[in-house]
Structure 1
């Protein structure tokens, strides 16, 4: 893959560049957000590894401007430990995934390959046999990964389970009891609103980039994922 690393820490950028080159990638480095945007305009890349905290133009702004210009390459954000706000800003701006520095180059490589595969699936339909598609939502139960459009969804285990179950039965309402049995594995309905809590969390992530809510609620019936 042809990759662009955007990182102002010279030593870290060089080490990551060299490691990804050893993994047979072609790698360029930009030192700040302005140079990153110029590089994206000048050259075509398969994916970008982008630090959140950058001089001149921050990472979230780089993603937002790139998306506004129609650039759809996968973006993996680099975040410092404990800076959750940076991750949220980056994902809201259009990034596909994030890791906390320092992350082993092999994991970065694996995540980039997964993001590029996902982008290819959403464009060409070349998905694994277990892939579920509902409108612009793609769910891969085997890989435990999901996307909405070009955006990877960072879902907790239960959120993913609920989404996968709704996707399997898209167009049909599932009751809370059905979801509890199939996702939680209970054969009884707890005296709590555990399903509603997960649905609310799932909706926030599905609609994080301003998309329409794809989950319909019917009072006293349940939930349905619409295409």
Structure 2
């Protein structure tokens, strides 16, 4: 494990909490414990966690109520409930509120560890999917609308706000030939009054930065029509 995942163990039975702490630390996780409902919420809010092991029967506040509060501001952190055999209603309530899984006491530590690994893998996969969705990509050109990062062949490209908006429009319409009026309306707005040559000027600025020396051209001029962003000629 390159980066140690952090697990919050919420369990009021000291012996069980200690066993879980030792087993999880042996597996390479960073572990902190909370013995009551309020302590659990305090520790949850004070740090970022990769997974939470949450006992349902707790003093001060039930695990189901803690889960409800966690899910009110975090839909992503995996939560595995630790439940008693007869707490069917609590299991159903927990799953309805967004618990990822539950393990019934008494449990085999190997089964719990397997479920933790599965929950962490699933969470990592979702995060990767989200990261992939944030990037627009054409060949070796990458653009992130949230962070406003632009990279070509692993080098950072600095763009002005207007250049950035123009590149976003070209990349979202990858391989589509766009005339000046379409670009003007999309990037400058329908109420823009001015010379349409502004499009040519900004395409020129963008080319200098995106289609630098040593890289294949991506921004192409289609004579008599407009421009297109695509691989190849």
After TM superposition, the score normalised by the length of structure 2 is 0.51
Q: CA offsets, 1:57-79, max 9 Å, x none?
A: 11111111011123521000000
Match of 1:76 in 2: 80
1:93 and 2:97 matched: yes
- Distance 1:123-1:25 versus aligned 2 partners, 3 A rule: closer
Question: Hey, what's the Cα distance between the residues in 2 that align with 1:94 and 1:81?
Answer: 20
Match of 1:113 in 2: 117
3-state DSSP class of the match of 2:32?
strand
**Moved runs in structure 1, 4+ residues, more than 3 A?**
none
- Distance 1:86-1:115 versus aligned 2 partners, 3 A rule: same
After TM superposition, the score normalised by the length of structure 1 is 0.53
What's the C-alpha RMSD, in Å, of the aligned pairs?
1.5
Question: Hey, what's the Cα distance between the residues in 1 that align with 2:21 and 2:75?
Answer: 22
Question: Hey, what's the Cα distance between the residues in 2 that align with 1:39 and 1:71?
Answer: 17
Match of 2:47 in 1: 43
Question: Hey, what's the Cα distance between the residues in 2 that align with 1:72 and 1:45?
Answer: 10
Question: Hey, what's the Cα distance between the residues in 1 that align with 2:9 and 2:75?
Answer: 16
3-state DSSP class of the match of 1:125?
helix
Match of 1:179 in 2: none
Give the aligned length: 126
Q: 1:61·1:93 contact (CA, 8 Å) conserved in 2?
A: no
Question: Hey, what's the Cα distance between the residues in 2 that align with 1:70 and 1:2?
Answer: 16
3-state DSSP class of the match of 1:68?
helix
Q: 1:20·1:105 contact (CA, 8 Å) conserved in 2?
A: no
Q: Which has the larger radius of gyration?
A: 2
What does residue range 23-34 of structure 1 map to in structure 2 within 5 Å? Answer: 23-34=27-38
* Higher-RCO chain (CA-CA 8 Å, sequence separation at least 6): 1
Structure 1: 5+ residue runs without aligned partners? 127-227
Q: Name which of 7, 11, 30 aligns with 2:11.
A: 7
